[in-house]
Amino acid sequence: MATALATLGTLLATLGVAFLLVAAIGVWRLPDTLSRLHALTKADTAGTALVALGALCLSGSLSAALPLVLCVTLVGISGATLGHLIARAHLGRETR
Amino acid sequence: MPVFDILTATGAVFCAAIALGARDRVAAIAGFLLMGLVVALAWVRLGAPDVALAEAAIGAGLTGALLLRGAARIGPLEPAAPPARALRASAALLALGLAGLLGWAFAGAGGASVYPALVRASLAESGVGNPVTAVLLNFRAWDTLLEVVVLAVALLLVAALAPPRIDPAPLGEMVLPFARVVVPVAVLLAGHLLWLGAEAPGGAFQAGAVLAGGAVALGLCGVLRPAERTGAALRIAGLAGPALFVLAAIATAALTGGLLDYPAAAAKTWILVIESALTLSIAATLFLLFLGSEGKSR
Amino acid sequence: MTEATLLVTLPFLAALAAAAHPRAAARWGGAATLANAVLAALLVQDVLADGAGATGIGGWTAPLGIALAADGLAALMVAMTALVGAGVALHAADWSLRAAADARRTRLRTGFWPLWLTTMGAMNALFLSGDLFNLYVAFEILGLTAVGLTALSGGRTALRAAFDYLGAGLAGSLLLLLGVALAYAAAGRVDLAVAGTLAGTVEGRIALALVLAGLAVKAALFPLHFWMPAAHASATPAASALLSALVVKAALYVALRLSLEAGAGAGTLRAALAAAGAAAMFWGAWHALRAERLKMLVAHSTVAQVGLMALALGLSEDGVPWQAAALLMLSHALAKAAMFLAVGRIAEELGHDRISGLNREDLRPGAAEFAFAIAAISLIGLPPSAGFVGKWLMMEGLIDGGAWPWVAVVLAGTALSAAYLARVVSRCLRGGPHVAPGARRPPWRTGDVAALGLAAAALALGLGSALPLALLERTLT
């Protein structure tokens, strides 16, 4: 049971890191602000959530769940809001 | 782990180079903030979670807000001619020489620190269980008092020099729901960090920075409009904490005969009261620094 | 030790009160400066009667805690701060009253007091501290308040000078912090007594060198003085007096304290200090001789005088008693504060501070010019001033030690200081055909008492130098 949980945790965390890596490559390689933003917000939020889930499995304790869930929620909310703000600022600059 | 250490060390230097070399102010600030994050990681690796927390909250968090505000105030970077090659080469040589000398000296310095044993031996008398808090608010509380005065002087300078204030345009309807979540969480987190500081990593500086972050979010969504009255209230709040700390120092001297010598068995209460006042003052000061001046806006 | 406790807490409390209640800032400032002077006098009396005393702050003994140590040297420096502070506060209060009607000057009027009170508290804390890291923290406060005092006049040049000051101050702080960190790594503790052990190892000597380099930036010792003349010349008279007379002394005091603690172990550092000091004397004098503006002349004379004090510190192995450096610091503080206040008054009366414009027909020299001349006597080191006693101790030691080249250097520096100060004094002394029969005298002001009093104190301290010397005997070494 414990080893299975640990394996699952490592797997999830690795997947999460892969998502984050894709997000980073996207920011680096994509041509304009909006597509970069597109790559960043989604892959970033999903990646963080997966890493947190993996960490939860690895820790194996439920008391660690609360801060991790809080982290993921906050990252989700702030990621979405920031994505919106950056996009708005970008559009505002283009239309001006 | 050596790989991780080498990565953080080179990463910090790399981010510092970005911060110094970027042609654009915002890019330079981004480099600086990134460096704050990397340095916070380095502190974690060095076994100093308290410092890591403070660095993450202030160095990588609030400083960003302050710097971006400043950048908005002074305008874009004017292109300047790069300094002469000979000057740059000699500066690089000097810096490398100093770094080499320091590296050699620190590597060779073998004095065993006397402090860990002393702190361990006296921790039970200090009233708190977190050795960092014990050092900051009991063993070397005098250093902390003077540091708090430094922060108050920063506040005084902003009040005395009164840079023109910029009222931020509200960031739109999406930010309000964001603030509705983030601000209560920030208040909760600040209280948690403050209370936790007695036994585990945390304390007034970290809690104050988190609280100030919440206030900045309120300011950005246009709920906390900077006005002359808010400014004056913030200034009083910022000065109250240091004043209470100094008063506590005088009171301890009157009660026990020794400066900052807390009455026996009541040390924890004194420390908690001082830390609570400091948390509010640090938050008020940082927020006032963010707002610029309390005076009329431009 | 009650006085010591109050000396390091009351100024901060008054500063916070003055900042929270700007309308009564001058009242808070005056009361706190007066209280500080009384406490300083009591501390001096205590040290004279009972000798040096020290307590651990918080009930913790060093090295875990921080020692609050009041010995003769510390008490002398605290008294110096109190005396200069009282004079400058008198000048500032007089100015505050006259500027009360001017709304544009409100910021200047109310901003000065909290900054000065914090400076005073930080200076007291620094002089009474027995801990290397604590000294660094005190320097942090001083660095920020000094920048604020420079910028307070609000002009473009003042802001520019303040910004350069901030940059230089931060660089100095960084060097100081690096030195303290290395000292901790090398010796495992940071109380001041560690300086003795530091001098014994190579790493420790590098740490001491870093600390001294940081102090050299803060004391504006040649060649790290580049920020200072502009900063000291563009501030308001009261701020210039505080910066030049007191803030610079904080760094020199720590250097003196370290050289007392480190003993004879740091020979190379001493030589560097002496070389930089000698160079500063000539560099500062050269620029003072060529200065076109009065404030610049006085600011460059500070560069030269700091050089003289550094020379006295650096030559302590060649027979110069350390008391000479302490007395030179004391006399320079009093005389330079008087001089900056006088220069401010002269510039206000003339409407400019060009030296070539000091010869004028319609205005006779007044109290400010008189104060400048007396202060010049002390700065040059003519008897019976305190500056003379300091220089005499220095020369006596050098002659006894047979260090004749250094005797020549000190004499040359003295001659140069006489030359550049004479540029001003000689113009004020000219009478006869230059002054029209109906020339008016500048009106008497309460603020003139401050400049005259400080200059007279510098002169009188030479006659009464037994008191500071008796106090210095009670120093822990």
Residue C303 has pLDDT above 90, yes or no: yes
In which domain, by residue range, is C417 found?
2-473
Measured from the Cβ of residue C336, the count of other Cβ atoms closer than 10 Å reads: 30
Q: What is the pLDDT of residue B153?
A: 93
Q: What is the pLDDT of residue C318?
A: 78
CB-based contact (8 Å) between C117 and chain B?
no
Lowest model confidence (mean pLDDT) among B199-213, C93-107, C271-285 = C93-107
| Residues of C (413-452) whose Cβ lies below 8 Å from B | none
Residue C430 has pLDDT above 70, yes or no: no
Q: Which residues of chain A have pLDDT under 70?
A: 1, 95-96
Chains with ≥3 CB–CB distances under 8 Å to A: B
Residue C87 has pLDDT above 50, yes or no: yes
Closest-CA residue of chain B to A67: B189
Q: Note whether B234 and B94 are within 8 A (CB).
A: no
Interatomic CA distance for residues C445 and C447, integer angstroms: 5
CB-based contact (8 Å) between A89 and chain B?
no
* Touch B-C: 3+ C-beta pairs under 8 A: yes
Interatomic CA distance for residues B157 and B175, integer angstroms: 31
pLDDT in tens, C15-53: 999 988 888 888 899 999 999 999 999 999 999 898 888
H or E, element range at C66? none
Residue C417 has pLDDT above 90, yes or no: yes
Would you state the structure tokens that stand for residue A50, as one six-digit string?
A: 């997966």
Interatomic CA distance for residues A83 and A42, integer angstroms: 10
Interatomic CA distance for residues B45 and B51, integer angstroms: 11
Task: Tell me if B174 and A85 make a contact (CB, 8 A cut-off).
Answer: yes
Nearest to C283 by CA among C300, C297, C271, C298: C300
Lowest model confidence (mean pLDDT) among B71-85, C72-86, C148-162 = B71-85
- Per-residue pLDDT band for B279 (boundaries 50, 70, 90) equals very high
Lowest model confidence (mean pLDDT) among B9-13, B45-49, B292-296, C391-395 = B292-296
At residue B209's C-alpha, the angle toward residues B204 and B212, to 5°, is 120
Q: Is C363 helix (H, G, I), strand (E, B) or coil?
A: strand
Chains with ≥3 CB–CB distances under 8 Å to B: A, C
Q: Is C322 helix (H, G, I), strand (E, B) or coil?
A: helix
Across residues B249-264, what is the average pLDDT?
A: 88
φ and ψ of C105, to 5 deg: -95, 5
Work out whether the CA dihedral B230, B236, B239, B244 comes out positive or negative: negative
Q: What is the pLDDT of residue C328?
A: 92
Residue C128 has pLDDT above 90, yes or no: yes
Q: What is the pLDDT of residue C330?
A: 93
Contacts of C266 (CB under 8 A, 6+ apart): C199, C205, C208, C259
Cβ contacts (< 8 Å) between C207 and chain B: which residues? 105
- Per-residue pLDDT band for C253 (boundaries 50, 70, 90) equals very high
Residue C62 has pLDDT above 90, yes or no: no
Q: Note whether B214 and A74 are within 8 A (CB).
A: no
Interatomic CA distance for residues C212 and C206, integer angstroms: 10
Task: Output helix, strand, coil percentages for chain B, rounded to the nearest 5.
Answer: 75, 0, 25
Q: What is the pLDDT of residue B298?
A: 40
Q: What is the pLDDT of residue B297?
A: 44
Q: Note whether C260 and C202 are within 8 A (CB).
A: no
Would you state the structure tokens that stand for residue B159, as one six-digit string?
A: 């009040």
Q: What is the pLDDT of residue B295?
A: 53
Residue C448, min C-alpha distance to chain B (Å): 27
- Helices B141-161 and C2-20, packing angle to 10 deg: 30
Give the distance, in angstroms, between the CA of residue C167 and the centroid of all CA atoms in the same chain: 20
- Per-residue pLDDT band for C432 (boundaries 50, 70, 90) equals low
The full DSSP string for C380-435 is HT-TTSHHHHHHHHHHHHHHHHT-HHHHHHHHHHHHHHHHHHHHHHHHHH--GGGS
Residue C363 has pLDDT above 50, yes or no: yes
Give the distance, in angstroms, between the CA of residue B289 and the centroid of all CA atoms in the same chain: 12
- Per-residue pLDDT band for C319 (boundaries 50, 70, 90) equals confident
In total, how many domains does chain A have?
1
- Per-residue pLDDT band for B77 (boundaries 50, 70, 90) equals confident
- Per-residue pLDDT band for B7 (boundaries 50, 70, 90) equals very high
In which domain, by residue range, is A82 found?
2-95
CB-based contact (8 Å) between C114 and chain B?
yes
Q: What is the pLDDT of residue C214?
A: 94
Cβ contacts (< 8 Å) between B172 and chain A: which residues? 84-85, 88
Contacts of B12 (CB under 8 A, 6+ apart): B35, B38, B39, B42
Task: Tell me if A88 and B172 make a contact (CB, 8 A cut-off).
Answer: yes
Residue C363, min C-alpha distance to chain B (Å): 36
Contacts of B222 (CB under 8 A, 6+ apart): B168, B170, B171
Across residues B116-138, what is the average pLDDT?
A: 86
Q: Note whether B132 and B200 are within 8 A (CB).
A: no
Single-letter amino acid, residue B174: M
Give the distance, in angstroms, between the CA of residue C388 and the centroid of all CA atoms in the same chain: 17
Helical spans, DSSP H, in A30-96:
33-59, 65-95
Task: Tell me if B175 and A85 make a contact (CB, 8 A cut-off).
Answer: yes
Q: What is the ipTM for the molecules in this complex?
A: 0.92
pLDDT in tens, C332-344: 999 999 999 999 8
Task: Tell me if C188 and B111 make a contact (CB, 8 A cut-off).
Answer: yes
Across residues B264-278, what is the average pLDDT?
A: 89
Q: Note whether B171 and A85 are within 8 A (CB).
A: yes
Q: Note whether B29 and B71 are within 8 A (CB).
A: yes
* Touch A-C: 3+ C-beta pairs under 8 A: no
pLDDT in tens, C373-396: 899 999 998 888 888 999 999 999
pTM value is: 0.91
pLDDT in tens, C260-302: 887 656 678 888 889 999 999 999 999 999 988 888 999 999 9
Residue C124 has pLDDT above 90, yes or no: yes
- Per-residue pLDDT band for C434 (boundaries 50, 70, 90) equals low
Q: Is C129 helix (H, G, I), strand (E, B) or coil?
A: strand
Q: What is the pLDDT of residue C101?
A: 62
- Per-residue pLDDT band for C475 (boundaries 50, 70, 90) equals confident
Q: What is the pLDDT of residue C321?
A: 85
Lowest model confidence (mean pLDDT) among C240-249, C316-325, C359-368 = C359-368
Residue B50 has pLDDT above 90, yes or no: no
Closest-CA residue of chain B to A75: B182
Closest-CA residue of chain A to B172: A85
Residue C457, min C-alpha distance to chain B (Å): 32
Q: Note whether C140 and C173 are within 8 A (CB).
A: yes
In total, how many domains does chain C have?
1
Across residues B53-68, what is the average pLDDT?
A: 86
Q: Is A34 helix (H, G, I), strand (E, B) or coil?
A: helix
Contacts of C433 (CB under 8 A, 6+ apart): none
pLDDT in tens, B129-187: 888 888 888 899 999 999 999 999 988 888 777 666 666 666 777 778 888 888 998 99
- Per-residue pLDDT band for C368 (boundaries 50, 70, 90) equals confident
Residue C371 has pLDDT above 60, yes or no: yes
Residue B262, min C-alpha distance to chain A (Å): 35
* Touch B-A: 3+ C-beta pairs under 8 A: yes
